[in-house]
Amino acid sequence: GAVVSQHPSRVICKSGTSVKIECRSLDFQATTMFWYRQFPKQSLMLMATSNEGSKATYEQGVEKDKFLINHASLTLSTLTVTSAHPEDSSFYICSARGGSGSPYGYTFGSGTRLTVV
């Protein structure tokens, strides 16, 4: 089945530093990847959609200069949280489209818990 690997699973960083999160599709080519953010006891909030080889599309209210997304290949997308602040602490989840198993082929990574201190 389709597998999406997300790394790291947990990261703690100092305020003002940048953190990179990787999302890889292991056994399929992901034409589109999505990045979500999830606060405790809340649902997933879409941050941006990235298509391989083109600029990401950000949802309203998401700062594109703060959350840099790169989708340079069909198997890898990265999310970089720049100049992180404590309010950026959250659970970040990627989803890749292109695998099998469901309509539209959405497969989710296991998530990254970011804590900014």
Partner 1 sequence: QKEVEQDPGPLSVPEGAIVSLNCTYSNSAFQYFMWYRQYSRKGPELLMYTYSSGNKEDGRFTAQVDKSSKYISLFIRDSQPSDSATYLCASPTGANNLFFGTGTRLTVIP
Binding site for partner 1 (CB under 8 A): 4, 6, 32, 34, 41-44, 46, 49, 91, 93, 95, 97, 101-104, 106-111, 113
* Angle, CA of 10, 115 and 88, to the nearest 5°: 120
In angstroms, the CA 9 to CA 21 distance is: 9
Q: Note whether 78 and 70 are within 8 A (CB).
A: yes
Q: How does DSSP assign 22-46, residue by residue?
A: EEEESSS--SEEEEEEE-TTS-EEE
Least spacing, CB of residue 32 vs partner 1, in Å:
7
Least spacing, CB of residue 71 vs partner 1, in Å:
15
Residue with Cβ nearer partner 1 (86 or 104): 104
Residue with Cβ nearer partner 1 (47 or 81): 47
Residue with Cβ nearer partner 1 (81 or 97): 97
